[in-house]
Amino acid sequence: MDGASLSTRDLSGSQSVDRALRLLALVGREAKHGAQLVDLVEESGLNKPTARRLLLALMRAGLVEQEAQTRRYHLGEEAYVLGTLASRRHGLLELSLKSLRSLSDITMDTSFLSVRRDNYAVCLHREEGTYPVRTHALQVGNHHPLGIGAGSLAMLSSLDADDVENVLTANRKVLETQYSYYPVEQIRDDVAAARRQGYALNPGRIVAGSWGLGVAIRFPDGRIAGALSLAAIDSRMNVGRQPELVRQLRTAAERVESKLRKMFFPVKA
């Protein structure tokens, strides 16, 4: 973020809103099975009454709903509605779906769309490949610090050197605690390699035998929009096959970028 959105510095209050929205993001992360109150309390650092109160507010707004049976919290319909309304400006998934499909058709491997969210990468879509042995390391909604994972690494590598360091610094604590098997120095090397080659490779760094290749997608103005990636078992991503996969990824990314251009500079009606 850094100089993030231009305009105004903050210095401002509204921290209960901040807290509520942090909770909202946490609930979203647990898209699959819903979030438990204790976990939300834990992850957010808030205490129980506060978390509960804020969740009630989110529920009043329809952004979150609570399953009556399990008492778990899920994203609500309003979140979906807002997302639909936002897709007018941010519809990267819609623009990429076809490309992901053909990518998985051609390569037989599972393909992904990720976007940057703060200093993390979120997986927005997973398009199953047809090859019978598949890795399930990355699921929709999953978060990893930028640099961890092929698509994530592709995005990190596309930032300029300063930003890379900023991101790594911001993530230092998480990296050390939750990704201790993946030293920061390793990420720096991976970034350098990705820069040299023009694509990101994850040679089983997170789950042994589960490899990934990724390329970034840019907005017409050069900002990073997201990344496309492919995942497969190591034997399907050997040096022999890599160039072809990268070629496919690049074509797919270019197709998406051209759609983005059309979205930003539409032909006059």
Partner DNA sequence: CCTAGCTGGTCCACATGATGGACCGAGAAA
Partner DNA sequence: TTTCTCGGTCCATCATGTGGACCAGCTAGG
List residues binding DNA (CB under 7 A): 7-9, 11, 13-17, 19, 36-38, 46-50, 52-54, 56, 66, 71-72
With CB cut-offs between 5 and 8 Å by kind, which of a copy of itself, DNA, none does residue 37 bind? Answer: DNA
Judged by beta carbon, residue 41 or residue 193, the one nearer a copy of itself is 41
Count of helices and strands (H, E) across the chain = 9, 8
Among 3, 5, 160, 162, binds a copy of itself (CB under 8 A): 5
* In the complex, least distance from residue 3 CB atom to DNA, rounded to whole angstroms: 15
Joined together, the tokens standing for residue 195 give 């820069």
Q: Which stretch binds a copy of itself (CB under 8 A): 16-24, 163-171, 200-208, 237-245?
A: 16-24
Site string for a copy of itself, 138-177 (x = CB under 8 A): --xx------------------------------------
118 binds a copy of itself (CB under 8 A): yes
- Least Å from the CB of residue 60 to DNA: 12
Q: From the CB of 23, what's the least distance to DNA, in Å?
A: 11
DSSP 8-state code for residue 35 = B
Partner that binds at residue 46, options DNA, a copy of itself, none, CB closer than 5 to 8 Å by kind: DNA
Q: Which of a copy of itself, DNA, none does residue 36 bind (CB under 5 to 8 Å by kind)? A: DNA
One-character DSSP codes across 88-127 = HHH-HHHHHHHHHHHHHHHH-SEEEEEEEETTEEEEEEEE
Instruction: Indicate which of DNA, a copy of itself, none lies near residue 84 (CB less than 5 to 8 Å, by partner kind).
Output: a copy of itself
Question: Binding to a copy of itself (CB under 8 A): which residues in 30-89?
Answer: 31-32, 53-54, 56-63, 65-66, 68, 71, 74-89
Q: How far does Cα 82 stand from its chain's mean position?
A: 19
Calpha distance 130→114 (Å, rounded): 20
- Rounded Cα–Cα distance for residues 122 and 16 (Å): 25
109: nearest Cα among 209, 238, 229: 229
Sole binder of a copy of itself in the list 101, 125, 241, 250 (CB under 8 A): 125
Residue 16 phi, psi dihedral angles, 5° rounding: -70, -35
Distance in Å from the first CA to the final CA of the chain: 35
Write out the two tokens for 154. Answer: 């592709």
Residue with tokens 């623009």: 95
